[in-house]
Structure 1
Amino acid sequence: MADTGDAVGSGASISRRLAQWSVDVRYDALPPATRGRVGQFLLDYLGIALRGSTLDSSRPVRSLGQPPGPATVLGRAGGVGAEWAALANGMAAHSMELDDTYLPGSVHNESFVLATVLALAQERDASGREVIEATVTGWEVACRAAAALRPAVTNARGFHPTGTCGALGAATAAARMLGLDAERTAAAIGIATSQASGLLEYVTDGAWTKRFHAGWAAHAGIVAARLAAAGMTAPATAIEGRFGFLHAYSGDPDTDLLLDGLGDGYAIDRTALKYHPCNYYIQSVNDSVLALVRDGVRAEDVASVLVHTVSAAVPLVCEPLAVRRRPAVMIDAQFSVPFNVALALSTGRVSFRDFTPRMFADPGLRDLMDRVDYRVEPDFDRRYPAEWPGRVDVVLHDGSTRSAQTLHARGDPRNPLSWAEVVDKHRGIVAGLVAEPDGDQIIAVVEDLDRQPDMAALTRALSRIRVD
């Protein structure tokens, strides 16, 4: 593949160079492993979004008046317009805290990229290969934008990269699905910069707006691409300009990360597939606690727990500590180090089925949560964001200390899940919700994605699943 600078000139704007690269991506040039990653994430997305569609937070968007169309709102009868399916399904997919994480950018791509791509694939009778191409391009742009903002910096400003950068990634994927050329794709990306949104204030009271960010990014991306196709313009320097995306959402960006090495490897290959239903800062913590449980540590023997983490984790999953020790709703628990540690010590697992009011109020878990504290580990800060490590020191009642450390959480590309493990995760998430024949068909279609002439077989299986 030609370097994007050769294709359009090194003086072209960032959005124009990203756009040229995205229209040049071809299935045949993608490594087999990269194609396979799309299938893994698609299966993961479908399971998470189906289960997420059963949550109360998914109901408001399904109650909105939506024009009929060919795209599936998961769990609901009848099709709707692609923009609306992407909004509903993207929000559902981000509600479980089980979707992927691109660590250098702290961004979750499954929810907005795959919600966008699948909705438009249904609308346009796109093939599996087209789905793969569009997914890779949207994923790349979102990840590069998020890494360039620098997670700790943009988070400190109160912005959620899944919402802000997700709009750019979704617009790129949508433009690819709609067959736009590089000029119109660049316009779509530029339009999306004016739609980018998402505030971290949800951490204060467990509000549903976090989940909304992913769905809105998918919705915005499709709208941006349609507007670009109709001739709407956007600033050429919408990303790097004086009043552009990078300045607004970071103020201290690493602009080189947007273009350096573009076409030499793919961000989707370097994206972690989550294993535990919680914020990614807690993934390695949970792996460490579960390792101690497997080695014989029992909840009743624990006097205190000290969790070592990175500075960026503190305002999201550690503080205010008194609040994190008393989760009231699911999203509170998804962002609570004390709850996850106590749950893992008590049950030997971290399952979304345990993120319930009954467990939040459990006296034993509350007692354990009160014994969990944290400390910022300077060495972990030096590794971040390339690595998101965690270490847990458990002091037992007999005075001894047991410790475990995880540098790469389960599902990290450096500690990957196999296809069989992804299937097992998917089946566990949809158990009791999806009939076995439909579940088998979904898995078979995704496993053979690049041979699908369209998404009709997948749509038939999905259309039979009801959550209302």
Structure 2
Amino acid sequence: MNRTTTPGAAAPAPIAARLAAFAADCRRGIPGPVTADATGRVLDFLGNCLAALGPHTGENPETAPHQAASRTARRAGGRPEATVIGGGDRLPADRAALVNGTLAHALDFDDTHLPSVLHPTAAVLPAALAVAEARAADGPSLIAALAAGGEICVRLGTASYDPALRNSVFFERGLHATSICGTVGAAVAAAVLLELPAPRIADAIGIACSMGAGVIEANRTGGSVKRVHCGWAAHCGITAAQLAAEGVTGPPTVIEGRFGFLTALLGDRWHPGPLTAGLDAMHDATHWEYPRTVYKPYPSNHFTHPGIDCALALRARGLDPRTVSTAELGVAAAPRRTIGEPREEKHRPRSPYHAKFSGPYTVAAALLADENAGLGLHLADFTPAAFGDPRRRALAERVEVVPDALCDEEFPHAFSAVLRITTLDGRRWEHRVPGSRGGPAAPLTLDELETKYRLGATPLLGPDRTALLAATVRALPTEGRGAARRLLDTLRPPA
């Protein structure tokens, strides 16, 4: 792609400088709809973290990645600055962010942006919360920092979308855009809360571009390291902002340069337009990209969601799962590689996390599961007892994941699927969804989002503290100095 300027025209400011100027300007205020959206994401984030600490995760506490991150962070010691969710104690801000970011991504229940296919909040918010608590920032500053970091995170991810591939080039290369772009977004959020001027925010961006990393082979064949990616992004983002505050500088053309962030990772298959489109008119909420990030109603990889939707719809129409002879789940080619391959691994998942990335298992679970408070599949459907259930295993063996041409056209602007089932009596059942529940085609209602939060938080906090925490989150846009600390104090176990 030609990215040269017209002869004689003034060279535009480097992209990092333009992004930094936008982030610094967010301190003066962000549009009301963006404030409301970011506040809802705080609630969803906390519900996901608390759910990961609850009794129905199927995890061994000794080997769970967030517990490993917690033990590692605590051994290092340091000044108590920011709260570890679920532990109640305080660690240095970067280490608290490592633990909380790992916790946020532990269940794969975090929000997803399209078409970048990344999870911005789980990487950016842990950094923003930790620095806001350490700095005793007020609520509007926390929300503005989250919005600024989340916006830059998803814009970087969207620049990687290749219309010819109909996929993120990060994803095609096996790179985890969430951890790579999330590190930059976390650095921006931290720098905003550290009150760095725009040139220093640009330096934080430049430093963070040398820190982001992550590969996604764990999506295919298992391994728990992917759950640490959001924690590592938050940790590195804070470190990048702190280094910028101390005078370390980043290259001005770190985003678009010959050896810059996007070219180094994506070659020439990236597009500059999404990075700066509308950036000078962000007082208008319609130019914001972060609020388009979609929530997850089910605690599994987002690629499995349209198949779950199809299975629940057929079940509602009267399909008896005991009569299923064969089932065919049609999805786009890129999701198929994640949720359908290798075939033997997807038909017989070996761990709760592995089950979350299995198209055959999630379809079988949705066909057999009881409706859970209006949400469908929930945490109990991903325990060893659930994915080891002989009925679910037998049904999963009958589900084949195949490419579907229409889904390919729709991906990744929407996660779509078609489920075709033949029953033992020869009857054919079919259901297609153009976009998964929680996405643009079928957004979650406020009541459904609150239900998801309550289901995650109540087993650990009880109903009264769950309600108190939700009320504290809703008050953030008007809360004064120390808002993050008061929020996190609500999570502390009673004396």
Relative to the length of structure 1, the TM-score reads 0.94
SS in 2 for 1:307: strand
Moved more, 377-386 or 212-221: 377-386
**Does the alignment pair 1:392 with 2:412?**
no
User: In 2, distance between residues paired with 1:249 and 1:398?
Assistant: 52
Alignment of 1:53-92 (within 5 A): 53=53, 55=59, 56-64=64-72, 65=75, 66-92=77-103
Q: Which residue of 2 aligns with 1:122?
A: 133
Match of 1:189 among 194, 202, 205: 205
Match of 1:179 among 195, 199, 206: 195
Q: What is the Cα deviation at residue 248 of structure 1?
A: 2.4
User: In 1, distance between residues paired with 2:343 and 2:369?
Assistant: 22
User: In 2, distance between residues paired with 1:291 and 1:33?
Assistant: 32
Match of 2:334 among 309, 312, 327: 312
User: In 2, distance between residues paired with 1:47 and 1:11?
Assistant: 42
User: In 1, distance between residues paired with 2:461 and 2:388?
Assistant: 30
User: In 2, distance between residues paired with 1:261 and 1:311?
Assistant: 32
**Does the alignment pair 1:43 with 2:70?**
no
What amino acid maps onto 1:386 in structure 2?
H
Residue identity over aligned pairs, in percent, reads 34
Q: Which residue of 2 aligns with 1:412?
A: 439
What amino acid maps onto 2:143 in structure 1?
I
User: In 1, distance between residues paired with 2:416 and 2:232?
Assistant: 30
Alignment of 1:239-250 (within 5 A): 239-250=255-266
Match of 1:257 among 246, 254, 274: 274
Q: Which residue of 1 aligns with 2:491?
A: 462
Q: Which residue of 1 aligns with 2:12?
A: 11
Q: For residues 214 and 310 of structure 1, do their structure 2 counterparts lie closer, same or farther at Cα, with a shift above 3 Å needed?
A: same
Q: What is the Cα deviation at residue 202 of structure 1?
A: 1.4
Q: What is the Cα deviation at residue 116 of structure 1?
A: 1.0
- Output one character per residue of 1:57-95: Cα deviation in whole Å (capped at 9) or x when no partner: 211111122323131101113211110111000001001
Q: Which residue of 1 aligns with 2:4?
A: none
User: In 2, distance between residues paired with 1:130 and 1:259?
Assistant: 23
Q: What is the Cα deviation at residue 29 of structure 1?
A: 4.2
Match of 2:452 among 425, 430, 445: 425
CA contact (8 A) 1:76 1:465 kept: no
CA contact (8 A) 2:346 2:360 kept: yes
What amino acid maps onto 2:300 in structure 1?
C
**Does the alignment pair 1:323 with 2:331?**
no
Moved more, 50-59 or 302-311: 50-59
User: In 1, distance between residues paired with 2:144 and 2:441?
Assistant: 24
User: In 2, distance between residues paired with 1:319 and 1:261?
Assistant: 39
**Does the alignment pair 1:136 with 2:147?**
yes
SS in 2 for 1:435: helix
SS in 2 for 1:60: helix
SS in 1 for 2:491: helix
**Does the alignment pair 1:376 with 2:409?**
no
User: In 1, distance between residues paired with 2:228 and 2:415?
Assistant: 25
Paired residues, number:
457
User: In 2, distance between residues paired with 1:383 and 1:343?
Assistant: 25
User: In 2, distance between residues paired with 1:465 and 1:214?
Assistant: 29
CA contact (8 A) 2:418 2:432 kept: yes
Q: Which residue of 2 aligns with 1:159?
A: 175
Q: Which residue of 1 aligns with 2:164?
A: none
Q: What is the Cα deviation at residue 119 of structure 1?
A: 1.0
Q: Which residue of 2 aligns with 1:220?
A: 236
Q: What is the Cα deviation at residue 364 of structure 1?
A: 1.1
Match of 1:145 among 131, 153, 156: 156
- Output one character per residue of 1:104-128: Cα deviation in whole Å (capped at 9) or x when no partner: 1111012111111111111111111
Q: Which residue of 2 aligns with 1:436?
A: 463
What amino acid maps onto 1:58 in structure 2?
H
In structure 2, runs of 5+ residues without a counterpart are 1-9, 162-166, 371-375
Q: What is the Cα deviation at residue 238 of structure 1?
A: 1.3
Q: Which residue of 1 aligns with 2:227?
A: 211
Q: What is the Cα deviation at residue 401 of structure 1?
A: 1.3
What amino acid maps onto 2:94 in structure 1?
E
- Output one character per residue of 1:375-425: Cα deviation in whole Å (capped at 9) or x when no partner: 211222222221121111111111111111112222114422222221111
**Does the alignment pair 1:302 with 2:327?**
no
User: In 1, distance between residues paired with 2:424 and 2:46?
Assistant: 44
User: In 2, distance between residues paired with 1:137 and 1:461?
Assistant: 26
CA contact (8 A) 1:292 1:402 kept: yes
- Output one character per residue of 1:299-348: Cα deviation in whole Å (capped at 9) or x when no partner: 10111111111111122111011110010111111100011000001114
Q: For residues 243 and 36 of structure 1, do their structure 2 counterparts lie closer, same or farther at Cα, with a shift above 3 Å needed?
A: same
Match of 1:169 among 185, 190, 200: 185
CA contact (8 A) 2:88 2:491 kept: no
Q: Which residue of 2 aligns with 1:5?
A: none
Q: What is the Cα deviation at residue 26 of structure 1?
A: 4.8
- Output one character per residue of 1:338-381: Cα deviation in whole Å (capped at 9) or x when no partner: 11000001114311112112222221111111110122112222
User: In 1, distance between residues paired with 2:421 and 2:220?
Assistant: 28
In structure 1, runs of 5+ residues without a counterpart are 1-8
Q: What is the Cα deviation at residue 207 of structure 1?
A: 1.2
**Does the alignment pair 1:93 with 2:104?**
yes
Relative to the length of structure 2, the TM-score reads 0.89
